[in-house]
Structure 1
Amino acid sequence: MISGKQSISDSIFLIQLFILLILSTMVRAQYNVLKDIGDISINLTLAFMLMFLVKSIMERRTFDTKLLKINIAIFLLILIYTISFVISEQAGNWYFIKLMLLFLFILGSIRIKWKPAHIKAIAYLLGIVLIFIFLHWVKLDFPNHKFKSIFTNPNYLAVFLFCMLYFKIIAIKFGSNFERLYFSLLILLNLILIYNTNARSVVVAMVVILIAWIFMKQFTRMYPFLFHIVITLNVVFIILYVGIKSTNFGRLLDKISVQIFGKSFFSGRSSLWEGIMQAGIEKPIMGYGVGINANDVTGIKLTAHNQYLQTFLEVGLVGFAIFVFLLFCIWKLLISRLDSFAAKWSACFFLGILVYENFELTLFQNNYSIAFLQWLIITIGISFSDDTKREEGQHL
């Protein structure tokens, strides 16, 4: 009886959480009223997850020793960012508190007990949102260039749509025949809308996910090393991207990008990243402090557009190493649970998100609404429980 009550309580919590997550995306809407709703929803989401974390600790749910390294990594992140905040005085108190709450959000997310019914319910919720966006696209006469719907930026809409994909893919696995058809159609709408945003970074992330899935199926022994490969290539890409701008190869890539996406391959990021790297080298150990922006050290009025460079700029090599350690701990846990369908897709999306972070800032404080969704996608596979397998085992 207690277990049943606990299951109902968890289900209600997750539905409420995702309603808040959907509302939090309004922070990037074009209208001030919706922005206010989005901002309030972000704060409520942080408070909501904190209450869940405290509740789960007080209930003394079974502690999974495999989560120990992730907990240590998050504690170290909190520690290094706290030290950075104290000694640098770059950020305000509320900025720092929200960042700490986001780290606790990650800690809470790995304690959520996910079931197929939860994923399907969330997929239905996101399906309603998707249909509204699709109908808006139709009403606007099918714009095929930088479609952004009610949002201020087509790239934001693209990554929001990208996050929706995960839940629909998992829902197909555990749905009825009708649900599989319905969610498949939603995925098709998802892809159509993403294409019409012209967001290259999201397309690259989806290609990485597809490649990762192929490696999982065809090159099983090599798959566990994809994390190391992706992180290494990300660092190499940053260095090469800055260095090839004025070369013949760089000009060729730029021409191809313009022909396919209608955008320059470089788009100002090369100068921005070069400035960030030069500034970072001057303070390589602890960085400039939490809250520092790229425009503070480069004079270019843009964010870093790269999670790795932003982390290096804020908390130096020490903080960057802890950040990579956290990612590695999550990866090791995901690949140890690849018998779970959700964990397989969490691992593939994880790699896609890691590549996406080479172009944007969405895992931490720059974009909370997307950070919430991405961290949930990454961590769902850790504690996902497929009840159908248990039931099948009992019948056998």
Structure 2
Amino acid sequence: MNNSDNGSLKFSRFTYILICSLLIVNTLALTSHEALHQVGTLSIMASLLFFLCLFIYYILHNYHNIDKLFHLYLYSAMYFIIYIITFFISAENNSFSYLFALLSTLSFILISSHNQWQHKYLKLFAHITSGIIWLVFLNWLLIELIFDGYQSISKNPNSLAIVLFCILYMQLLTFRYSSYIGRSYFGLLICINLFLIYTTSARSVFLSILIILLSMLILLYSKKVFSKIFSIGLILNFGFILIYVQLENTKIGQFLNEVSLNLLDKSFYSGRNEIWKQLLPYVYDKPFFGYGIGIDARGLTSPAHTSHNQYIQILLESGVIGLILFLLLLFSIWKLLLRNLTTFESKLSACFFIATLVYMNFESTLFQNNYAIGLMQWLIITLGVIINPVEDSTRVKGVQKE
């Protein structure tokens, strides 16, 4: 593990390969095949333990570098302390395992924010995941051949769609820094990936892709305007939650439903409005500290469903105080990304970050609910925080010199 004066680090080749391998194997937990699911679950447990140990090792040897990411450390620590408090008020039997997973995830966020990913390992990651794209595509082509609700061996179409979405980041990054032959190959893969996402009919991922495109356009237009979309995005997110639960029986709501049925052949109301409508009174009942870490929304809704919303899940677990600290943690990462907007990695990470903020309005993957996706999302978000200036200077017209 090598360190530099700016607080960044470079892992050994073995560590990079191990991280990539774990993140990929973790996604097996999302499959419907029991044996593969068990492998993925064990991989997630190994990942969480490994990232926690890796972080402890880094801190013991490089505690003086904490000030390089001071605010990120500060809000991560405060967020974890709030969850320690909620641990003692939690009625969940497995709340300690949730606390361990939260600590490990925060450790991964911090260690990933310090890390300078070398392009050869990102390319390796992209090439390995390209195998997943080919397998999923061949399964669609030779076996299923459907254009609505395709899920391959995943538990549901949404799980497949978000895995493909995360892989898309690595494909775009590798496309940017590949030779012309590499660009042709990854250009084809990107097209296949987008097509497969289309076949899943996962509207939350459709919206995320649209948000990325809009974010890129705003970034091209003005960095000053782009710097504001974090706050704008959160305001729109919270406004959407409050409006969406009341919209179904209004004239505007019925109009939007007709438009959705005509364009997508799906109702505008996915059922999340009913879930959130049932959960919000619980949020209002304990607004400050919530019900404790690990609270399961399935015990509060009928029929039983998860919250399908990261913000509501955090409000249920740790109340408004926990949500504020979570948003401060996100904002500290956002500021770090804005600092490096001269690089393609940071631009891409920032755009995916905004898309993730929107995606969290429909799923709770960053913490607690889905570590296979959450860890990959955190990698994508934090990858643009630390940039290697020497490596960056070798790029000529989008092609990295080897």
Give 1:49's aligned residue. 51
Partners in 1 of 2:194 and 2:235 — Cα distance? Answer: 29
Cα distance, 1:51 vs structure 2:
2.6
Q: Which of 37, 40, 57 is residue 39 of structure 2 equivalent to?
A: 37
Partners in 1 of 2:395 and 2:164 — Cα distance? Answer: 34
Give 1:342's aligned residue. 345
Q: Which of 373, 376, 379 is residue 379 of structure 2 equivalent to?
A: 376
With normalisation by structure 1, the TM-score equals: 0.94
Q: Where in structure 1 are there 5+ consecutive unaligned residues? A: none
With normalisation by structure 2, the TM-score equals: 0.93
Give 2:146's aligned residue. 143
Q: Which amino acid aligns with 1:242?
A: V
Cα distance, 1:91 vs structure 2:
4.2
Instruction: Give the alignment of 1:1-396 within 5 angstroms.
Output: 9-60=11-62, 63=65, 65-92=67-94, 93-385=96-388, 387-391=390-394
* 1:317 counterpart SS class: helix
Partners in 2 of 1:62 and 1:96 — Cα distance? Answer: 26
Q: Where in structure 2 are there 5+ consecutive unaligned residues? A: none
Change (3 A) 1:392 1:53: same
Partners in 2 of 1:154 and 1:17 — Cα distance? Answer: 26
Percent identity between matched residues is 36
Structure 1, residues 260-316: CA drift from partner, whole Å, max 9, x if none? Answer: 333211122112111111111011010111111223233330001010111111110
Cα distance, 1:60 vs structure 2:
2.1
Q: Is the 8 A contact 1:331 1:347 kept in 2?
A: yes
Partners in 2 of 1:81 and 1:70 — Cα distance? Answer: 17
Q: Is the 8 A contact 1:146 1:197 kept in 2?
A: yes
* 2:103 counterpart SS class: helix
Q: Which amino acid aligns with 2:53?
A: M
Q: Is the 8 A contact 1:116 1:386 kept in 2?
A: no
Cα distance, 1:107 vs structure 2:
2.0
Q: Which amino acid aligns with 2:39?
A: I
Partners in 1 of 2:395 and 2:144 — Cα distance? Answer: 49
Q: Which amino acid aligns with 1:181?
A: S
Q: Which amino acid aligns with 2:224?
A: R
* 1:30 counterpart SS class: coil
Between 1:367-376 and 1:107-116, the stretch displaced more is 107-116
Partners in 2 of 1:349 and 1:147 — Cα distance? Answer: 24
Structure 1, residues 102-134: CA drift from partner, whole Å, max 9, x if none? Answer: 222222221222122221111111111111111
* 1:383 counterpart SS class: coil
Partners in 2 of 1:62 and 1:256 — Cα distance? Answer: 56
Q: Is the 8 A contact 2:244 2:273 kept in 1?
A: yes
Between 1:363-372 and 1:267-276, the stretch displaced more is 267-276
Partners in 2 of 1:255 and 1:341 — Cα distance? Answer: 40
Q: Is the 8 A contact 2:78 2:325 kept in 1?
A: yes
Partners in 1 of 2:11 and 2:99 — Cα distance? Answer: 31
Q: Which amino acid aligns with 2:172?
A: I
Q: Which amino acid aligns with 1:352?
A: A
Partners in 2 of 1:141 and 1:237 — Cα distance? Answer: 36
Q: Which amino acid aligns with 2:42?
A: I
* 2:62 counterpart SS class: coil
Q: How many residues align?
A: 393
Change (3 A) 1:295 1:19: same
Partners in 1 of 2:48 and 2:395 — Cα distance? Answer: 38
Cα distance, 1:9 vs structure 2:
4.8
Q: Which amino acid aligns with 1:142?
A: L
Between 1:163-172 and 1:369-378, the stretch displaced more is 163-172
Cα distance, 1:141 vs structure 2:
4.3
Q: Is the 8 A contact 1:200 1:261 kept in 2?
A: no
Q: Is the 8 A contact 2:92 2:295 kept in 1?
A: yes
Change (3 A) 1:392 1:322: closer
Cα distance, 1:75 vs structure 2:
0.5
Change (3 A) 1:311 1:2: closer
Partners in 2 of 1:105 and 1:219 — Cα distance? Answer: 32
CA RMSD of aligned residues (A): 2.2
Cα distance, 1:219 vs structure 2:
2.5
Q: Which amino acid aligns with 1:209?
A: I
Structure 1, residues 165-204: CA drift from partner, whole Å, max 9, x if none? Answer: 1111111121111111111111101100000000000000
Cα distance, 1:351 vs structure 2:
0.1
Q: Is the 8 A contact 1:90 1:292 kept in 2?
A: yes
* 1:222 counterpart SS class: helix
